[in-house]
Structure 1
């Protein structure tokens, strides 16, 4: 990087850190957050699949006498 050091806000304190260290840290944090997002999206999809399966079973058992649709959508 062209800038050898830059201020990095940690809590309420600015630390002067080498720019390369800051960029490396940001890349690491970004990768971790992207992985967490991916994991959450996978969990959401799994839950949606379970809900769909349950709806099919419940409608199969109770027919139109129940309403499992979300009215908030």
Structure 2
């Protein structure tokens, strides 16, 4: 499993990753639980913006083996 995340200075968050084991890509395109924040358990091999309300800005983000977390601010 590999999960990556990035936050731009304007507060937009992009995540990508896959849930295959031992560095292999999952053939059916599904990860183990939707840790990327896109509302599904589909693998994203390219950075994909996480959709949030227009008046929300990410202040900080973190990701690990089985999670992606974010602190948001309403602006």
Kindly indicate which of the two structures has a greater share of residues assigned to strand: 2
TM-score under structure 1 normalisation? 0.20
Higher RCO structure (Cα 8 Å, ≥6 apart)? 2
Kindly indicate which of the two structures has a greater share of residues assigned to helix: 1
The structure having more radius of gyration, on CA atoms, is 1
